[in-house]
Each structure stands twice: as structure tokens, then as C-alpha cells.
């Protein structure tokens, strides 16, 4: 993201400041989305469908804006796509106009941006689009609980309603004051009459073409570049939930306060031997069934050595609750190859444990961390296990060496094998 921001700033450096900031929001009522919903479904239930339709729809404005110069002569552009917390994707465009075609006065702004409700007699279809997509609120004194209300006293963070203005003018902070005439044209939103003060700036051609919220703002500040890249990461993660009306007051996992340890061991009148079994019965922790099933399925087509590696990975990354049970249930599969080689069951177990220990040690863990049986301190077996671990680790480290360093390593290794007292080997030892 930092690299892309720097690329965008390079475009600004070469082509000048951005001229237009455009926001396009997915419309959940697009025909392509509604036609593919099942009965009772909403767009929130099908984020895959919403994302696919929006991606397809986004290709058209990219062609219209960037190749056909639908609203202005575009010299350079930057755009990002953001998925809102409620699931509707946004696209943000920064357009830099070609030299000689840049907007230089309020009259140029009015040719591209409009912030008024169309005449219902002359443009009824356009008025419906503005009413459905481009009216902010209501908020402020009309609706104090609106999500956009912040601070003390509460005010709209988007500064709505704006002031009536007969002509467009330029402010010092790069935002223009759009023309919003008090011409008596109003629309009815939530049983409230709203006028031009509540209209988000738009381009009539784009709004008619794409039938969605498509906010168009005139800008001339490089702050917008940083804004569109940080916008993707704004806010906290949220999850949409639904509570059935008839289950709204239902208590979940209601547990009486325990008065002794036996109360903690007891679930549904049954006294369990361990805290864990009691917690499992209450549904407070998950079982290891999925991990056991994973090993069982892998044993159908994997060799025992791969199973032992998988077992070690499960211990480290999945944190099973009952390692001993997992070990006992799958010991036959884990030791299948060694049982064919050795008749002594203790030796077989030792071989399996040493292999697992090698995998665990490679990630900084030990057998004792998981309550597995101890390895029999057999010198031959220890040497085998440690040698295997050291050899695997050395091989991995060698592969990370640069070509020259690898050549030096093999040169020193060969020199030591031929003559341990060679001058090259002594020089390396002296340097270290």
C-alpha cells in the first residue's frame, strides 16, 4: 500500500494535483443482483454476487471516464476499491485533467458537478435518481440519532445541511461551495421535505448511466491521494448478526454459581472425572474430533513419516485438548513403518517419538510440552534423532546461502575432509 501511494504521488508530481474526486457505491437494488437472489434473500446474504456484479459494473465507468473522456479530458488517474463494513463495495477515483483542459473557475465546475434537485416536470427520471441515491440524511435537528451525528453538541460530520447559494464559489481549502439555489424544489424522504441543502454533489450523466450513488467533487489538494489509500483500512471490523424476535430473551449457557469443586465437575446432573470433560459437555470448549478426522483421512494416502510430521504440526498450531487420546488413537498409523522393521514395541515407540521430537525441535518445542511419553535414553536412538535433526537444519540453512557463500562452504567442507589441518580451515577457525 505504501508503494502504491508513492506511485500515485509520482503521478501527481508529473501531471499536477487531482481535479476530481469521484466515489461510486454499489447499488444493492441493481437488476443483476436482485434477479439472482433467492426468495427471502437480501444483498447482504450474497457478498459473492455483490462483489461480482460491482466488479463488472466498474469496468464501464473506467472505460467511460478514462478512455472516452465522458466528463473531462483525463491525463492521469488513481482508483481503489473498498468494501464497506456493511458489505457494499465502493470505488474511489482521483482524476487529473490534461493541461489546457483543467477547471479554472466556478463556471467550469458547474459544467461537471451539480448539487441541486432536478425539476420534477422537466426531468422526472433524474429527480427519482437523485432522491434515491444522492440525498444525505435527514440528520441534524430532523434526526439527531443519525449515524453521521458526532461531537457535543452533535453535528453532522459531513456538514449537512449546507447553505443555500445562488452561485458556485471557491473556498481556500480546495473545496468549492456548490450552487444550491432556494428554488422551492423538494423531495419527500421519511415523511420529511428536503431541499437542495441536502444534495450530495453528482454528475447527471454518470448518475443516469450507472443508477447508483456516484458522488463527484471538485478538488485540488494532494491530501486526497493519502485519503483514498488510508480509507481502505478505516474503522473496526464488524459482523452482521440477526436475532430472532421470539428468542430475544433466551439465556445462553446459563450456569449457576458453583459453591464447591464438585459443582464445576457436574454437568446436567452427571459428575465427570475432569474439568475438561465437564466443559466439553457444557459446550464451552471444542473437541478434537476434527483433528482426529484429519489424521484418519491423511493415513489413507500418506506415508507414516508424513503422518508424524502432520501430527507434530497439529500439536504446535492446533493445540489439541487431549494429546494423549490423539496419540493413542493414531499410534498404529504413526508407527506403521517401524513396526515392520522392529519387533520390540518399545523400540518402535522410541523411533516414532524421536521423529516427532525432531519436528517439534525445529519449531522450538519439546515432547514434554504436550505430555507425550518420554524417549528411552538409548544412545544409538539419540544419535539417530539428533543427527537427523541437525542434517535437516543444515540442509535448509545451506540453501539460504548466496552462490559465492555456498561455494566457500563446500570448499571449506572439502578441505576439512581431505586435510583437517589445512591452512584454509585454520584461517576460517581463526577468523571466527
* DSSP state letter for 239: -
State the pLDDT confidence band at 232, using cuts at 50, 70 and 90. low
In the chain, the percentage of residues whose pLDDT exceeds 90 is 28
* DSSP state letter for 202: B
Model confidence pLDDT, tens digit, residues 60-69: 888 888 777 7
Weakest-pLDDT range from 182-186, 255-259, 305-309: 255-259
How much is the pLDDT for 406?
63
- pLDDT of 260 higher than 50: yes
Q: What is the mean pLDDT of residues 133-146?
A: 88
How much is the pLDDT for 4?
80
More confident residue, 274 or 409: 274
How much is the pLDDT for 415?
57
Q: What is the mean pLDDT of residues 5-31?
A: 88
CA distance 403 to 390: 22
Model confidence pLDDT, tens digit, residues 83-99: 766 668 888 988 888 88
State the pLDDT confidence band at 268, using cuts at 50, 70 and 90. confident
- What is the DSSP track for 210-221? H-S-EEEEE---
State the pLDDT confidence band at 133, using cuts at 50, 70 and 90. very high
In the chain, the percentage of residues whose pLDDT exceeds 70 is 78
How much is the pLDDT for 326?
92
* 313 SS3 class: helix
Find where cell 576439512 sits.
416
How much is the pLDDT for 204?
92
Model confidence pLDDT, tens digit, residues 115-130: 999 999 999 999 999 9
Mean pLDDT of the chain: 81
Q: What is the mean pLDDT of residues 215-242?
A: 73
Q: Are 347 and 375 in contact (CB under 8 A)?
A: no
More confident residue, 71 or 305: 305
- Side-chain-side CA neighbours of 285 within 13 Å: the count stands at 12
Q: Are 4 and 225 in contact (CB under 8 A)?
A: no
CA distance 270 to 281: 10
CA distance 262 to 302: 44
How much is the pLDDT for 125?
94
Helix (H) or strand (E) holding 285: none
Nearest to 136 by CA among 218, 194, 217, 204: 194
Which bin fits 100, alpha (ψ -120 to 50), beta or left (φ > 0)? Answer: left
State the pLDDT confidence band at 364, using cuts at 50, 70 and 90. confident
Amino acid at each position: 500500500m505504501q508503494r502504491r501511494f508513492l506511485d500515485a504521488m509520482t503521478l501527481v508530481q508529473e501531471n499536477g494535483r487531482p481535479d476530481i474526486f469521484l466515489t461510486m457505491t454499489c447499488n444493492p437494488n441493481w437488476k443483476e443482483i436482485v434477479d439472482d437472489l433467492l426468495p427471502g434473500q437480501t444483498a447482504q446474504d450474497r457478498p459473492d454476487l455483490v462483489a461480482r456484479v460491482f466488479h463488472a459494473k466498474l469496468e464501464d465507468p473506467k472505460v467511460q471516464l478514462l478512455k472516452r473522456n465522458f466528463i473531462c479530458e483525463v491525463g492521469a488517474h488513481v482508483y481503489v476499491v473498498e468494501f464497506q463494513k456493511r458489505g457494499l463495495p465502493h470505488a474511489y477515483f482521483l482524476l487529473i485533467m490534461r493541461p489546457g483542459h483543467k477547471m479554472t473557475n466556478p463556471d467550469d465546475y458547474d459544467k461537471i458537478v451539480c448539487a441541486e434537485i432536478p425539476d420534477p416536470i422537466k426531468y422526472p427520471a433524474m429527480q427519482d435518481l437523485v432522491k434515491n441515491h444522492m440525498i444525505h440524511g435527514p440528520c441534524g435537528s430532523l434526526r439527531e440519532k443519525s449515524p453521521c451525528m458526532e461531537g457535543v453538541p452533535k453535528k453532522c460530520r459531513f456538514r449537512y445541511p449546507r447553505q443555500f447559494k445562488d452561485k458556485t464559489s471557491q473556498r481556500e481549502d480546495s473545496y468549492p461551495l456548490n450552487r444550491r439555489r432556494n428554488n422551492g424544489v423538494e423531495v419527500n424522504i421519511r415523511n420529511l421535505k428536503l431541499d437542495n441543502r441536502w444534495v450530495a454533489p453528482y454528475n447527471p450523466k454518470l448518475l443516469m448511466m450507472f443508477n447508483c450513488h456516484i458522488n463527484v467533487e471538485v478538488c485540488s489538494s494532494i491530501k486526497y491521494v493519502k485519503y483514498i489509500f488510508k480509507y481502505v483500512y478505516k474503522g473496526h471490523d464488524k459482523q452482521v448478526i440477526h436475532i430472532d424476535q421470539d428468542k430475544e430473551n433466551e439465556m445462553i449457557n446459563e450456569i449457576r454459581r458453583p459453591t464447591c469443586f464438585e459443582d464445576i465437575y457436574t454437568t446436567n446432573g452427571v459428575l465427570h472425572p475432569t474439568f475438561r470433560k465437564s466443559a466439553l459437555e457444557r459446550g464451552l470448549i471444542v473437541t478434537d474430533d476434527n483433528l482426529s478426522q484429519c489424521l484418519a483421512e491423511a493415513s489413507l494416502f500418506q506415508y507414516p513419516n508424513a503422518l508424524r510430521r502432520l501430527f507434530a504440526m497439529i500439536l504446535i498450531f492446533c493445540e489439541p485438548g487431549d494429546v494423549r487420546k490423539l496419540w493413542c488413537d493414531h499410534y498404529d498409523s504413526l508407527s506403521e513403518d517401524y513396526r515392520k522393521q522392529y519387533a520390540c514395541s518399545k523400540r518402535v515407540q522410541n523411533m516414532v517419538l524421536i521423529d516427532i521430537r525432531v519436528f517439534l525441535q525445529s519449531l522450538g518445542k519439546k515432547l514434554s510440552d504436550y505430555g507425550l511419553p518420554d524417549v528411552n535414553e538409548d544412545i544409538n536412538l539419540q544419535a539417530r534423532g539428533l543427527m537427523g535433526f541437525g542434517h535437516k537444519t543444515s540442509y535448509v540453512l545451506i540453501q539460504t546461502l548466496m552462490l559465492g557463500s555456498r561455494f566457500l562452504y563446500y570448499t571449506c567442507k572439502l578441505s576439512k575432509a581431505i586435510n583437517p589441518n589445512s591452512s584454509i580451515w585454520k584461517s576460517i577457525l581463526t577468523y571466527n
